[in-house]
Amino acid sequence: MKSLWNDIEAKKYQTDLQLRVYTSRLLGRNSSLVLHGGGNTSVKIKEKNLFNEEEEIIYIKGSGWDLATIEEAGFSPVRIAPLLKLAKLKSLSDSQMVNELKSNTIRANAPSPSVETILHAILPYKYVDHTHADSIVTITNNQNGLARIQEIYGDEVVIIPYVMPGFDLAKTCAEKFSAEVTEKTKGMVLMNHGLFTFGETAPESYEMTIELVSRAEEYLEKHNAFSIKIEKQEITNKELRYDLAKLRWEISKAAGFPVILKRYGDERSLAFTRRKDVNTLSQQGPATPDHIIRTKRVPLIGRDINSYVAQYKEYFAANAPQNSEKITMLDPAPRVILDPELGMCTVGKTVKNAKIVSDIYQHTMDIIERSTALGGYMALPTKDLFAVEYWELEQAKLKKSSNAPIFTGEIVLITGVASGIGKACVDSFLQRGAAVIGLDLDSAVEELNKKPDFLGITCDVTDEKAITNALEKAIQTFGGLDMLVLNAGIFPQGCDINQLVTEHWRKVMSVNLDANLILMRECHPFLKLAPKGGRVAVIGSKNVPAPGSSVAAYSTSKAALNQLARVAALEWGKDGIRINTLHPNAVFDTKIWTEDVLQARAEAYQLTVEEYKTKNLLKVEITSHKVAELAAEICSPVFACTTGAQIPIDGGNERVI
């Protein structure tokens, strides 16, 4: 493993805490050391309090922060003296420990200190680094793990048998480390858990991590258990969107809430899922108990959700203590699915969560295969895994009220998103927690939003094949479809009917009507599988109830689309799909309304531009954002009892009213 320390880069960091930030980020850059909030780092600093008394404070990574991006604010400052007293207690529940940690945090707005704060505090070093290095975990999850760790490091590390994180681990480490530490000690290995290194300076502690991990990697390489050969896999060309949507629906039903389902059909994932012994290897448990909260105890092999749920309930019943009525069973749905055709699929309440699961399991596959090559992968016993999965601190999280956005776990497809109302809809649905698929003829759609829960696809909505390809890509990315916003359309230059060219008419109908028919038809099977019921929002026009002259093609296309939506509301009600139409008017912050056009139209009415923008009964300006907000709201539970409605958003129009 290569050190990432850079003297020039390090000069930017002057204080002890700043250097702690720097080396923490170096560790976080390497996913084989820490993943998504895993690992902990700390530094001990002497500071004066309000009474000018000097206190020793430990700054430790706070809950919710990731080492790769941590800042000074991400470290929780906790008084060390009380922590050392706590370490001498015979027993302390983890909930009591968390309370004590918060009580001794010196900054009110600091994140919650790590549950390993006491462990960091008792180690007599200024800097402490804790990582879940893949190579260390690989070796400790081996049938001869203890002997191999001793072979690699001898008396240069203190070895701690597995103890669940929390007060008991801190107590065990305090006793064993103080009894075994010598001048030769370079680190501490926690079996099935990870590595601790330390030093009086930030680079000393960091470089020791690199040294000890490198020795583990060299050991694996020497025993032909480091480099994983991935055989070329036959990648299916079969359309998988229907299978994935059905699978997502079943998982959501088991979980009790909508989920995101991400598919990984790369050669690495397929190679693992197609191993002859995958049923044995994958069912032993996660590489480290820290991962069980994200990935569940074992993956689902194949697609039999009901069987998995039944097995999970048996697992809970067999391992829950006698006072199990005090334990709330977690949802029994899987978080990882291994299937020889699908490859690996991961599940999460959000795209971010599903991505975290995939990152963890990609590393888990490496660890399992390396440990198998080393002589045999062996995870912790079930009772230890259950203890972490149903830890009192995790149970406490379940009891807290959820403030998740209303569309968490749901997926929406929006057309015409490169600008105007469509672009505003992307923002409105993202803010409400949805994963968003945006279609547009403009290839700029692919770079429209950098968030992981947005997928932009260049697509001509008048091309049936392009639509089916877009749906295939979208559902392989997010797992299904819950909502559809039909926004794409064209507003051609006006002309009277006696001058209307047939080609012009057909083009308008193709985009504004035919394309929406295709989208509705192709999306219907997936909307039927929406866990909370499918929803369609149609962006119509004021020209439906109040047509204008010289726009026959546009007005007719929108009126026909409106009628199509009404018929669909009649037909799809039995499928739990509701369809409602918005009729906006005078939305001026779109591409067609340039400053010159606005000025000309305002002058035609002998109004200022601002007066022209608010030329309605309520004297309000209709913006893309306001239309988008209403489009999102009609897909929300507020409109759960409404379908087939036509809602004007025009500030009040005499002809419409």
Q: Is 606 left (phi over 0), alpha (psi -120 to 50) or beta?
A: left
Task: List residues bridging with 438 in a β-sheet.
Answer: 414, 456
Candidates 61, 349, 558, 626; catalytic one: 558
CA 510 from centre of chain? 37
What are residue 196's phi and psi, to 5 degrees? -115, 135
Confirm whether 90 is a catalytic residue: no
Report the relative pairing of strands 187-190 and 483-486 from DSSP bridges: unpaired
- Interatomic CA distance for residues 395 and 151, integer angstroms: 39
Candidates 361, 554, 612, 613; catalytic one: 554
Task: List residues bridging with 90 in a β-sheet.
Answer: none
> In 144-273, where do the E strands start and end?
157-160, 187-190, 194-199, 260-264
- Interatomic CA distance for residues 331 and 349, integer angstroms: 12
CA 368 from centre of chain? 24
- Interatomic CA distance for residues 68 and 356, integer angstroms: 14
Confirm whether 313 is a catalytic residue: no
Contacting residues for 449 by C-beta, under 8 A, at least 6 apart = 426, 430, 436, 438, 456
What are residue 547's phi and psi, to 5 degrees? -70, 155
Crossing angle between the packed helical segments 80-87 and 94-103, to the nearest 10 degrees:
160
- Interatomic CA distance for residues 10 and 425, integer angstroms: 43
Contacting residues for 436 by C-beta, under 8 A, at least 6 apart = 411, 412, 413, 414, 426, 429, 430, 449, 453, 454, 455
Residue 6: count of CB within 10 angstroms of its CB: 11
The total number of residues written for the chain in this structure:
657
Contacting residues for 354 by C-beta, under 8 A, at least 6 apart = 259, 260, 261, 262, 346, 347, 348
- Interatomic CA distance for residues 30 and 533, integer angstroms: 42
List of long-range contacts for 249-254, beta carbons under 8 Å, 24+ apart: 249/480, 249/529, 249/530, 249/531, 250/303, 250/305, 250/306, 251/305, 251/333, 251/334, 251/347, 252/333, 252/409, 252/531, 253/305, 253/531, 254/305, 254/308, 254/309, 254/331, 254/332, 254/333
Nearest to 44 by CA among 68, 10, 78, 73: 78
Catalogue the active-site residues. 554, 558
